[in-house]
Amino acid sequence: MRITMVGSGYVGLVTGACLADVGNSVLCIDTDQKKIDSLNNGKLPIHEPGLEALISDNTDAGRLQFSTDIAHGVKHAEIIFIAVGTPADEDGSADLRHVLAVAQGVGKHIEDFTVIVTKSTVPVGTAEKVRAAVQKEIKKRGVEVEFSVASNPEFLKEGAAIDDFIKPDRIVIGADDPRAVKRMRQLYAPFNRSHDRVIVMDIPSAELTKYAANALLATKISFMNDMANLAELLGADIESVRNGIGSDPRIGYHFIYPGVGYGGSCFPKDVQALYRTAKERGHEAKILAAVEEVNNEQKRVVLKKIHNHFGDDLTGKRFAMWGLAFKPDTDDMREAPSRVIMEGLWACGAEIAAFDPVAKEETMRIYNNRPDLLLCDGIYDTLEGADALIVVTEWKQFRSPDFSRMAEMMRERVIFDGRNIFQPDAAREHGFVYYGIGR
C-alpha cells in the first residue's frame, strides 16, 4: 500500500519504518528540512532500540523515503497518517495547530479518495476538526473529492516501540466509513495474523481510548508513589507491599513500581489535556488533578531526602547521578525527574557528575556547558569525590554495582536510590547510608 506519514518524530518514524518493513511504500513528510536531510543521511533525531537499522534497511530497499514536499506526499498516498506533535498549550490543553495545518495541506492537494488518519494523541472531537479543515480547502478549489477521516491511536512504549508495533496488544480503529475500516484492516493485516487484534469503534471513543489508557497508567504510578510515602511514615517497606498487591491478578505488577515520578512526552501532557477536556465540558476530573499533583511532588522527594541529610546549603557538595532520561532505553528528557532534581541541587550550590548510557547529547543540548555539570562516560567516573549517589533512571547496568569500589571512590558513603534498584542490606554492609523510596 502507498502510505504517507506526516510528522517524522517518534511516532511517525517508528510507524513508518514498521509499515515499510512489511512491504508498503512509505513516504515520511516533515517541514524541518534539517531533520529530513539528516534522515536521508541515515542520522536519526531520536534513540530507539533497533530503529536505526530498520530505517536503514527499508531506505536501502526503496520502501521508505523522506521529504518536505506535502503535495507529493498527498498524491502518493492511499492512507495519510497525521503524526505531528500536539504539545501542551499554556492552559494544559493540546495544541492542535500542527494537526490542522496538515489537514489544510491535505485539502489543498488531495485528488482521489484517501483515508486521513489521526495518529497523534488528540482530544475528542479532533477528527471532526480535521474533516472540516480538509473540506474547507477542497471547497476553495471548487472541486469535489471524496475522503474519509479515521482515528488510529498509537500505544508505543519508548524503548520497546518496534516490538509494540509488530506485536500489538490491540489495534484501535475509530471510523464511521466502512471504506476506511476496510483499508485500515488491509494495512494492519501483516500484524494481525495469529488472532484478530483490531478493535473498531466510533471516532470519539477511539480518541478517548488513548487518553484514558495513559491516564490510568499514570494513576497507578502516582497511587504507588503516594503509598510509598505513607509506607515510610508507617515503618513499612513498599517493595513488600508491591509484591503483596501485585500478586492479585486484578491489579498485576505493571506500573506499580515506586520511584521519583513519571516523565516523558506522553503521561504529563496527556493527563493535563484530558483534565482540560473534562473541565471544558463542565466536569471536574478530581482524580486526574490528584495524579498530576502527586507526580509533581514526587519529583522533589529525593531533594527533600537530600536536604534532610545534608541541610539546606549544598555549596561545595558533589552529587553523582546515575540516569538522566525519564526511563531506560531512550534519550528522551522531556519532563524527566532528573531535570527537577538537578535544577534543585544547583539552586542550593551543588555540583553534579552524571552518567546516562544514551542521553548525554540531549543533556548537553538542554543545559549547554554548565560549569556545575560534568557528563561522564561511565558510572564509576561519576563517583570520584562524590558526597552522595542519586539513582534516577533504572538502567539495567546500574543494578549490580561494585559497592566496595564505590565506597573507596566516594567522599561520603550515601545513596539516594530513587528507583529502589539496590538491596538496602547490601548497600549498608559496605558502610553506605541508604535512602530508598518507601523503604
Q: Is 348 a known active-site residue?
A: no
101 vs 19: CA distance, rounded Å: 24
Give whole-number Cα distances, 21 to 50, 155, 181, 312, 332, in Å.
13, 19, 22, 55, 25
Q: Which residue has the cell 497523534?
A: 120
> DSSP string spanning 4-27?
EEE--SHHHHHHHHHHHHTT-EEE
- The H or E element containing residue 69 is none
CA distances from residue 248 to 100, 216, 236, 251, 256 in whole angstroms, order as listed: 44, 18, 19, 5, 12
Please give the Cα distance from 206 to 122 (Å, whole number): 10
User: In this structure, what DSSP letter does residue 88 have?
Assistant: B
Q: Please give the single-letter amino acid code of residue 359.
A: A
Cα–Cα distance list, 178 to 29, 150, 175, 352 (Å)? 27, 11, 8, 57
Q: What string of H, E and C letters represents the secondary structure of 233-285? A: HHCCCHHHHHHHHHCCCCCCCCCCCCCCCCCCCCHHHHHHHHHHHHHHCCCCC
Of 28, 266, 348, 376, the catalytic one is 266
Contact 206, 173 (CB under 8 A): yes
Residue with cell 507526580: 295
Angle separating helix axes 10-21 and 51-60, nearest 10 degrees: 50
| Contact between residue 30 and residue 13 where contact means Cβ atoms under 8 Å apart | no
CA-CA distances (angstroms) from residue 155 to 167, 168, 212, 290, 434?
Answer: 11, 8, 12, 24, 37
Q: Rounded CA gap, 209 and 121, in Å?
A: 10
Give every CB contact of residue 193 below 8 A, 6+ residues apart in sequence.
none
The string of DSSP letters for 410-432 reads -SS-EEEETT--S-HHHHHHTT-
* 338 neighbors 392 (Cβ within 8 angstroms): yes
- What does residue 333 show for φ and ψ, rounded to 5 degrees? -115, 15
Q: Which residues are catalytic?
A: 266
